[in-house]
Amino acid sequence: MLLLVSPGCDDSTEGSEADAGPVVYLLVDTNRDGVLSTDDDPGKGAWSAERGAVFLANIDDDDEDGDDDASDDDVDGEADELDLARVEITPWLEAPEGAHGTLEIDEAAGDRIRMFRQDGTAWSEVEAPIALDAAALLAGTAFAIEGLGMMEDDEWDGRVTLTLTVHEAAAKAGEKPVAPILVQSAVLRQAPMVIPWNTAPTLRVFVSDINSFAGAPLIGAIDNATADVDIESFIIDALDPDYVFPDQWTQDFFEIGASYLPSEGGLHRMGVGIRLKPPQGSGFFVDKEIYGPDYAAIYPFPNSYDPFLDGSSLDYGGNLEVVPPHDGYPVGRLLVGSTPARHADPTFFAMLEAQYAQGPVLEPDTEWLIVGHIDEVVSFVADPSSPRGWRALLQAPREAWDLLQAAVNADPAAADLVLFDNKAWIDFSTGFPYSAERTIGQVLADADLAVAQDVAQARADELREFLKDEVGLTDEDFVELPLLWWTFAASPSGGLRHVAYSPSVVNLLTFNGVAIVSSVFGPVQSGQDILEQVTRQRLEALGLDVRFVDVWDLYHRLDGGVHCGSNVDRTLPPEAAWWEMSR
Amino acid sequence: MVGDVAMKRFFVRAALLGLTLAGALPAGAAGQAVTLGDDDRRTLETVVQKARAADVRPFATLERVVKDWLVLPPGRRHGALLSMQLQAMGSAGLAPLIDALAIGGGELDGGLCGGLDPRVRQAVEVALVEALGNLDDARARPVLLGAFTEGRSPAVRAVAARGMSRTCDDAALGLLLARSSDAAVEGLGRCLRPEAAERLAALLGETHDENRAGPIAAALGRLASDLLWSAPPRRDDPAGPRIRLVAARALVAASARFDDDEPVRSLAIVRHPDTLALIDEAHRAADAAGRSRLDRAKSRIRLPR
């Protein structure tokens, strides 16, 4: 009997004769170049940041039959073939008659993947253990793997171990089983869903049209800006009855992530639309408009989800952001606002954590906010002049207050300047508006507002320290934007919660060098909006094309901003290698 | 269209606050009409009668608002929604609210709320008291005092205390100082008087319960907030420096004793110029754990440049 090993092999291959190559190789794309070759042999028995093959959860709908491609036992066309990870057993040209082998899948992963075997140009499903006769070993055999669903929790980390065992001859009746001449293992791992960050390349920008005049400015601003930078805009018909009610909170009802498979031409992308805002109807947009070829759709919440007892608004897209790439996190890190007392839905959160490339999820405290979304208090924008290539935007309520005070100090008559000129809040009992106009003097005299700025500043400072501790940011990585807050006093027994009083300039939309920002409607002195001009200067200093837009009626006075009213489908930059994470 | 959408967004807001409300209402603690002294009752009966004679519509509005709220599906019947709708009545709501809470008496004991689940009934009571307190009308004070002092639920007492503290006259202050409940703490944190700060400081110093220290520290931080006392109408009030120093001392001491974030957060809200010196002073007297906590506090305080 001849026992063979491959040069430089690891413990994935058992053998004893150092000078000869193995009779066959079990190949997966260990070196992540999209091509199977013997270069993939070294290190294939383990999965690490450096080496290890990848496969996709094949849950898009390339054949547009309305079902996930992985829901049947067929390969659904050429496009679907691209979603499969390849496995090959190389030919054993001198395979003797009686030679045979077995390809097995580890038990834990067996029901999470499907294997196909190639016969000419056709693929057919095979179930493990897969028997290989002498002819198959002689000719070599090609397989492909698809994942059947997303990683959902910590019960499975996405790893699959394939083990090939080859025997030179069959055991004769009545004799001891013949020892194998070769045993090789290869480990693959299901690609996580990665959520691209604000500064990642933009594919298209979404905004909902609820057929309201108040929504027109944002739609127009997005339409113009996307045209200027040659990006697709997607205006969602929010009046579609399938969505139950017209929802202008485009950021909240879905998120688009993606999984990436190394391929010969670079990363092969499968978008993943996440239906959020459970159980409301607007999230069906994902199923209706996103799902299809190269786009999956998932709903990561339990069927028993109760919006009043479960995570509620903490499960909206506005509460799911990404810190851009930094040391140890080549595709950034998820940022979800929460507290132990008020937390995102456990099923949803477990799914996020299971996508191992961007975790553990960072959870800054957003308990102090009415809505509770992380995008109310921090944004990340591109800054080519920064060593990181990006900076974090934080609110600066004290500075906003000080700007008002400074205006009065410089000229007492400024106390009569008006904030929110010609703007109105909404009376929730009648739907009728009432004036939001207040002078600087009235604002500065308002005890509740004064305290709100101090509380909001303390919270901003805490968030800054949190990001410094967890991400390694320094003070230079932050840009502060003046923003006033107020409290909502209708919580009878808990602490007061906060929401932006002046339109939120932190809650902005940015892509391709453009920043679309809520018009502030601050007091105007010498022809300049005291608050807005500071925001403009600071964002323009980052090289951004700053475009203010009036979102007061449809967004600000209903507790949101530009970011809340928009959404973006982004992709990883070509150089991003999600597997290089330090976990 | 916008009106519809506005309600949808509010639905979210109300949902959040409804959680708080639901958790605060002890089952079975039904609301009853607020009891008034004879003089107050006579005075307020006159207020109500005159208002009703002048314009009965606000009374009908209140009834409609409550009834509309009561027929909402249980999952959407949040007290926050009712409270905001009642507050939207503005000053016209004074007499109907007083009537509903204390004069007519029938609204809470029967009428609108008769036969309701006790939790729902108390949600109505909380909303009525909160709306009344937010009117900032001295005529509402006897009702708020009654709601605060009687054996009512913590949620009702908290909103009553909050309403009383908006003016915080001697009568209100006296009642708040005499109590140490969470509701009293809530009220004291809004009562811009040195006695309130001293009482809160004492309560904070006495407690060994971290869960209790957090709300007291938050109330103290609010009361002594830097911007609150540096804004024009209060900038020259001699009470300000006294309140702020009392608060800073108490919060530094609490920061050495508790791991909870709230004392340090409140120190950051107070931003007293002597904060770092007070921390250094406390540091010298603290044990190892206290020194560690104070080091952490010091690293988090940003004082005016």
**What does the pLDDT look like over A253-280, one tens digit per residue?**
999 999 999 999 899 999 999 999 887 8
- Cβ of A493 within 8 Å of Cβ of B155? The answer is yes
- CA distance to partner chain A, nearest, from residue B230 (Å): 9
Taking CA–CA distances from B296, the nearest residue in chain A reads A465
Given B20, B215, B265, which is nearest A458 (Cβ)? B265
Both B56 and B107 in one domain: the answer is yes
- CA distance to partner chain B, nearest, from residue A377 (Å): 17
Average of pLDDT values for A57-63? 97
Q: What residues of chain B lie within 8 A of the CB of A309, using their CB? A: 19
Give me the domain span that covers residue B143: 1-191
Both B150 and B208 in one domain: the answer is no
Interface test with B, best of A313, A402, A454 (most B CBs within 10 A): A454
Average of pLDDT values for A117-128? 93
Q: What is the pLDDT of residues A289-327, one digit of tens each?
A: 999 999 999 999 988 887 655 557 889 999 999 999 999
How many CB pairs below 8 A link A and B?
A: 172
- Give the integer Cα–Cα distance in Å for B203 and B224: 16
- Give the integer Cα–Cα distance in Å for A116 and A74: 8
Q: Measured between CB atoms, does B235 come within 8 Å of chain A? A: no
- Give the integer Cα–Cα distance in Å for B278 and A464: 24
Taking CA–CA distances from A214, the nearest residue in chain B reads B2
Q: What are the residues facing A333 on neighbouring strands?
A: A323
Q: Can you read off the two tokens belonging to residue A543?
A: 């090289």
Please give the order of strands across the beta sheet that includes A295-298.
A254-263, A266-275, A295-298
Please provide the average confidence, as pLDDT, over all residues in chain A. 91
First to last CA, chain A: 42
Residues 182-221 of B with CB under 8 A from A: 192, 215, 218, 221
Residue B132: per-residue pLDDT:
92
- Give the integer Cα–Cα distance in Å for B147 and B162: 11
- CA distance to partner chain A, nearest, from residue B29 (Å): 15
Residue with tokens 């990363």: A267
Both B124 and B19 in one domain: the answer is yes
Both B175 and B204 in one domain: the answer is no
Helix B170-177 vs helix B154-165: crossing angle, to nearest 10: 140
Q: Measured between CB atoms, does B13 come within 8 Å of chain A? A: yes
- CA distance to partner chain A, nearest, from residue B37 (Å): 26
Taking CA–CA distances from B131, the nearest residue in chain A reads A490
Average of pLDDT values for A131-156? 95
- Cβ of B13 within 8 Å of Cβ of A488? The answer is yes
Rg (CA), chain A: 28
Q: What residues of chain A lie within 8 A of the CB of B121, using their CB? A: none
- CA distance to partner chain B, nearest, from residue A583 (Å): 29
Residues 84-143 of B with CB under 8 A from A: 84-89, 126-127, 130, 134
- Cβ of B20 within 8 Å of Cβ of A212? The answer is no
Q: What are residue A242's phi and psi, to 5 degrees?
A: -65, -20
Taking CA–CA distances from A249, the nearest residue in chain B reads B9
Show contacts of B39-48: CB within 8 Å, 24+ apart. Answer: B40/B142, B41/B102, B41/B103, B43/B139, B43/B142, B44/B98, B44/B102, B44/B103, B44/B139, B44/B142, B44/B143, B45/B103, B47/B94, B47/B95, B47/B98, B47/B139, B48/B95, B48/B98, B48/B99, B48/B103, B48/B104
Detail the DSSP E strand segments found in B35-142: none
Q: How many CA atoms lie within 13 A of B302 on its CB side?
A: 12
Both B234 and B275 in one domain: the answer is yes
Both B127 and B7 in one domain: the answer is yes
pLDDT band at A330 (very low <50, low <70, confident <90, very high): very high
- Cβ of B88 within 8 Å of Cβ of A492? The answer is no
Helix ranges (H only) for A472-562 are: 532-540
Both B74 and B128 in one domain: the answer is yes
Q: How many CA atoms lie within 13 A of B110 on its CB side?
A: 4
Both B150 and B298 in one domain: the answer is no
A487-520 exposure pattern, b = at least 16 Cβ within 10 A, e = fewer: bbbbbbbbbbbbbbbbbbbbbbbbbbebbbbbbb
Strand A113-119 with A53-55, pairing: unpaired
Q: Is the pLDDT of residue A477 over 90?
A: yes
Both B180 and B226 in one domain: the answer is no
Which of the residue ranges A52-61, A282-291, A311-320 would you say has the lowest mean pLDDT? A311-320
Interface test with B, best of A253, A428, A440 (most B CBs within 10 A): A428
Residue where a domain terminates, one of B166, B191, B216:
B191
Helix B262-270 vs helix A447-471: crossing angle, to nearest 10: 120
Q: Which residue has the higher pLDDT, B23 or A577?
A: A577
Given B126, B271, B300, which is nearest A492 (Cβ)? B126
- Cβ of A497 within 8 Å of Cβ of B16? The answer is yes
Block means of pLDDT (10 residues each) for chain B, 305 residues, are 36 38 31 80 92 92 86 66 81 92 65 67 86 88 85 82 85 88 89 96 96 94 95 90 98 96 95 96 96 93 71
- Give the integer Cα–Cα distance in Å for B116 and B105: 15
Helix (H) or strand (E) segment spanning residue A489: none
Residue where a domain terminates, one of B139, B165, B191:
B191
Both B150 and B164 in one domain: the answer is yes
Into how many domains does chain B fold? 2
Q: What is the pLDDT of residues A77-91, one digit of tens each?
A: 899 999 999 999 999
The predicted complex's ipTM stands at 0.84
CA separation, residue A337 to residues A36, A466, A494 (Å): 42, 12, 18
Note the pTM of the prediction, 2 decimals: 0.87
Do the beta carbons of residue B265 and residue A462 sit within 8 Å? yes
Closest-CA residue to A506 (of A375, A403, A391, A402): A375
Residue A430: per-residue pLDDT:
55
Both B89 and B208 in one domain: the answer is no
Q: Is the pLDDT of residue A379 over 90?
A: yes
Both B53 and B83 in one domain: the answer is yes
Given A248, A426, A450, which is nearest B228 (Cβ)? A450
Which of the residue ranges A220-229, A334-343, A416-425, B208-217 would you say has the lowest mean pLDDT? A334-343
Q: Measured between CB atoms, does B30 come within 8 Å of chain A? A: no
Taking CA–CA distances from A466, the nearest residue in chain B reads B300
Residue A405: per-residue pLDDT:
95
Do the beta carbons of residue B124 and residue B66 sit within 8 Å? yes
- CA distance to partner chain B, nearest, from residue A460 (Å): 11
Residue A196: per-residue pLDDT:
97
Residue where a domain terminates, one of B165, B191, B217:
B191
